[in-house]
Every structure is written in structure tokens, then in C-alpha cells.
Amino acid sequence: DAGITQSPRHKVTETGTPVTLRCHQTENHRYMYWYRQDPGHGLRLIHYSYGVKDTDKGEVSDGYSVSRSKTEDFLLTLESATSSQTSVYFCAITLDRGPGELFFGEGSRLTVL
Amino acid sequence: DAKTTQPNSMESNEEEPVHLPCNHSTISGTDYIHWYRQLPSQGPEYVIHGLTSNVNNRMASLAIAEDRKSSTLILHRATLRDAAVYYCILRPTGSARQLTFGSGTQLTVLP
């Protein structure tokens, strides 16, 4: 257990509304990630962070923004949710050095109607 | 970024060994090979990792080709609880940016 919590765990929203998902860690790891998972696509990287205020895009970043104002929190925002963003979102952290395995949160299931 | 290629699906009989392959022909010398698995309705969990030598832990074994361009995750005796999606990824030493996953291999274990 790497002390990762995601909130909310489930959310249903309507097209066009803003949504923010939160990932919280308790161990001050530098690297944090947001992935989305859809049937047939495995895990796809949305954004990642390598420190406070240091973030970068992943492979499917369009329509998403992130912020990291504190080491422990990494926020994923959908400014105007669309039905194509219905997915399960996973947050992950990795240790800073060495082989550093990834630890994942339990996921946040988002449904955009 | 280095990519990995895995078969979409595999089947195994319960209590038999399973060999899950992964190709990573563009691996660099400092990339670790990591394996994760994802059980239904759960987040992925770490299974094993290696750099050059074969590795064993309580969950599985990892066999790495001499040229490091491929690896094989070995489950010695598959159980029904091993039915999951297995992912092979490359994790660079010193930088953990852009850790990308492929679609993984869906392992079905038959009773």
C-alpha cells in the first residue's frame, strides 16, 4: 500500500460540466501519473508530474488539464466533460530512484451522460 | 519512448505453467523490465521486475533474453485467481517520465 487515495471513486455528470478528480498520496513521491482505461485500449497515459508545478502531457492529453500545487495532490480536470471521456481513471505513483515499481490507486469511474 | 508488444490473449489450464511473452526490441541499456497484472475491477498491481538476469519472487519468475529484446513472465502453476490482464512495460532508470502501457495480455485460466 503506497498510501494513494482517489476521489471521487464514482461520478456521474452531464456533458459540458467541469469535473475534477483528485489523487492524494501520503509518502511524498515525486512522480505521479493519471491514466485512463477503456475496453480494448489498456491503460493510456493522460498526464504526469515530476514535481510540484512540473507536469507534462501523455499520449491522450487532449481535453484534460492537471495541476500539482502540493507534493501530495495531483488533480485531473476535465474543463467541459464529453461522453468520450467516460472511463475509469487511475492515478499512480512511482519511487524516484532505481527500478521503482508503480503503485496504483483504486480508480475513479466517471460516466458522462 | 521504448515500446513493448504482447499477445492480446492467452489461455492456460489450471495448475499448469504459463509463459507470457513480451517483445521490447528498442529497449535501452538502462531500462528495467516491469510486469504488472490487473484483476477484474481493480487497479494494476506490481508483479516482478528485472534488468539483465532472470528473477524469481513469490508470485512469478521473469526470464530475460540475453540481448534483452524480449522477456517472459512465468507463472509456475496457474490458478483461477491468476486470470487477469498482464502488462509488460519498460521503466528507465533515473527518469520515470512517460511510463506507458500497451494493451497487455488477457490470461484466461481454464478449470
Residue A108 has pLDDT above 70, yes or no: yes
Give the model's pLDDT for residue B15.
95
Task: Tell me if B43 and A99 make a contact (CB, 8 A cut-off).
Answer: no
Q: pLDDT > 70: what percent of chain B?
A: 95
pLDDT tens digits, one per residue of A22-69: 999 998 899 999 999 998 778 899 999 999 999 999 989 999 999 999
Percent of chain A with pLDDT over 90: 80
Q: Provide the pLDDT for residue A76.
A: 98
Q: Do B34 and A101 touch (CB under 8 A)?
A: yes
Burial class (CB in 10 A: 0-12, 13-18, 19+), A93: buried
Reported as a single tens digit per residue, the pLDDT across A73-101 is: 999 999 999 999 999 999 999 877 667 88
Q: Where residue B92 falls among pLDDT bands split at 50, 70, 90?
A: confident
Query: What residue of B is the nearest CA neighbor of A93?
Result: B96
Residues of A in contact with B91 (CB under 8 A): 94, 99-102
Contacts of B87 in chain A (CB under 8 A): 42-43
Question: Which strands make up the sheet holding B9-13, listed edge to edge?
Answer: B9-13, B105-110, B84-92, B31-38, B45-50
State mean pLDDT over B88-97: 79
Measured from the Cβ of residue B110, the count of other Cβ atoms closer than 10 Å reads 11
B49 to chain A: which residues are within 8 Å by CB? 99, 101
Return the pLDDT at A2: 66
Question: Taking 80 as the threshold, does the pLDDT of residue B88 lie above it?
Answer: yes
Confidence of residue B91 (pLDDT cuts 50, 70, 90): confident
Q: Give the minimum alpha-carbon distance from A65 to chain B in angstroms, rounded to a whole number.
A: 16
pLDDT bucket at B2, cuts 50 / 70 / 90 = low
Measured in angstroms, the CA of A22 and the nearest CA of chain B are apart by 16
Distance CA B77, CA A41 (A): 28
CA B29, B3, B1: angle at the middle one, nearest 5? Answer: 70
Contact between chains at A101 and B98 (C-beta distance less than 8 A): no
